[in-house]
């Protein structure tokens, strides 16, 4: 079998798989701007369903964005120092802690939500607030922030950088904010985009923790498909992709290694 033929077969299979995955998404998004899904594009294009989604579910969009930003702040405050501590003193204990941090990701979201309900469900004001969902999102996304920052810190000579800064008279805050953070900026950016993306799209855990007044975007999306016209649910999907795709593209761009400029 010659190489051109093999390449053609591989390309055809890749395009076929990509079409299998992408076409349903595109059809769903197209249904959100179609006057009547069952008649197809011939019925005309309209933004009527998009405006209805914004009218009916604007609060879910605002809540999701607010939770994602709050989750990002919490994971930065907790995750970056934790990654620094794990990278500064590598040992069996730190590796064990690192593996334990992944438990909320490995455990199904419904199980994590049930554990939170059992532990804190008795606090009524807390249970019915968006802060309760925020706790679940932080538990779920914190490992991703720590892993992203830890990967960068583990790839640099952290000890030499700190000793050099200390020899120049830099205090610990000066070393941390002036030396450590700039050197792990790429990990912080990648982790931040991942946290925001996961928080906006998280459904399993949120569905268990939400109340009628604390619906997030994915929960509203499920509600729209269950109780509204198909076109409204599809318009909701379109809005969701408009919000999430820029974050995914940015995360993909930041994950690429930077080319060094030739001197």
Domains of the chain: total: 1
Residue 25 belongs to some domain of the structure? no
User: 4 in a domain, yes or no?
Assistant: no
**Percentage of the residues of the chain whose pLDDT score is greater than 90:** 10
Q: pTM of the full predicted structure?
A: 0.80
Answer whether residue 44 is part of any domain. no
Please report the pLDDT score of residue 254 as a whole number: 64
For helices 230-255 and 185-201, angle between their N-to-C axes, nearest 10 degrees: 170
Query: Can you give the pLDDT at residue 259?
Result: 55
Residue-level pLDDT at 235: 83
38 within domain boundaries? no
Query: Are the beta carbons of 229 and 236 closer than 8 angstroms?
Result: no
**Tens digits of residue pLDDT in 190-235:** 888 889 888 988 888 888 888 888 888 888 888 877 776 777 878 8
Token reading at 57: 């579910």
Residue 221 lies in a domain: yes
Higher pLDDT, 150 or 7: 150
Closest CA to 207 of 193, 195, 196, 223: 223
* CATH number, position 166: 1.10.3720.10
| Distance between CA atoms of residues 76 and 129, nearest Å | 22
Query: How large is the average pLDDT for residues 36-60?
Result: 81
Tens of pLDDT along 150-196?
Answer: 888 888 877 778 778 888 787 888 888 888 888 888 888 888 888 98
- Does residue 126 surpass a pLDDT of 50? yes
Report the alpha-carbon distance of residue 152 to residue 146 in Å, rounded.
10
* 258 — pLDDT class (breaks 50, 70, 90): low
Whether the Cβ atoms of residue 160 and residue 183 lie closer than 8 Å to each other: no
Please check whether residue 28 lies inside any domain of the structure: no
Report the distance separating Cα 86 and Cα 139, nearest Å.
18
Q: Is residue 34 part of a domain?
A: no
Which residues span the domain enclosing 108? 54-255
- pLDDT tens readout for residues 49-73: 888 888 888 888 889 889 999 999 9
pLDDT greater at residue 70 or residue 22: 70
pLDDT value at residue 85: 86
DSSP 8-state symbol, 256: S
Distance, C-alpha 263 to centroid of its chain: 37
């Amino acid at each position: 079998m010659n190489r051109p033929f093999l390449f053609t077969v591989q390309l055809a299979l890749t395009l076929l798989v990509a079409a299998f995955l992408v076409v349903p998404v595109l059809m769903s998004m197209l249904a959100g701007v179609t006057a009547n899904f069952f008649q197809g594009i011939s019925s005309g294009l309209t933004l009527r369903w998009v405006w209805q989604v914004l009218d009916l579910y604007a609060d879910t969009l605002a809540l999701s964005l607010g939770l994602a930003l709050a989750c990002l702040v919490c994971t930065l405050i907790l995750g970056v120092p934790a990654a620094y501590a794990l990278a500064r003193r590598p040992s069996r204990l730190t590796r064990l802690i690192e593996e334990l941090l992944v438990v909320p990701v490995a455990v199904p979201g419904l199980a994590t939500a049930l554990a939170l309900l059992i532990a804190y469900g008795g606090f009524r004001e807390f249970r019915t607030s968006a802060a309760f969902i925020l706790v679940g999102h932080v538990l779920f996304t914190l490992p991703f922030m720590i892993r992203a920052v830890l990967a960068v810190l583990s790839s640099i000579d952290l000890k030499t950088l700190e000793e050099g800064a200390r020899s120049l008279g830099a205090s610990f805050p000066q070393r941390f904010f002036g030396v450590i953070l700039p050197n792990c900026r790429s990990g912080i950016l990648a982790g931040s985009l991942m946290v925001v993306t996961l928080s906006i799209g998280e459904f399993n855990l949120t569905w268990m923790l939400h109340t009628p007044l604390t619906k997030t975007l994915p929960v509203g999306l499920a509600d729209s498909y269950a109780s509204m016209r198909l076109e409204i649910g599809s318009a909701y999907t379109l809005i969701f992709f408009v919000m999430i795709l820029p974050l995914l593209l940015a995360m993909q761009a930041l994950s690429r290694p930077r080319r060094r400029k030739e001197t």
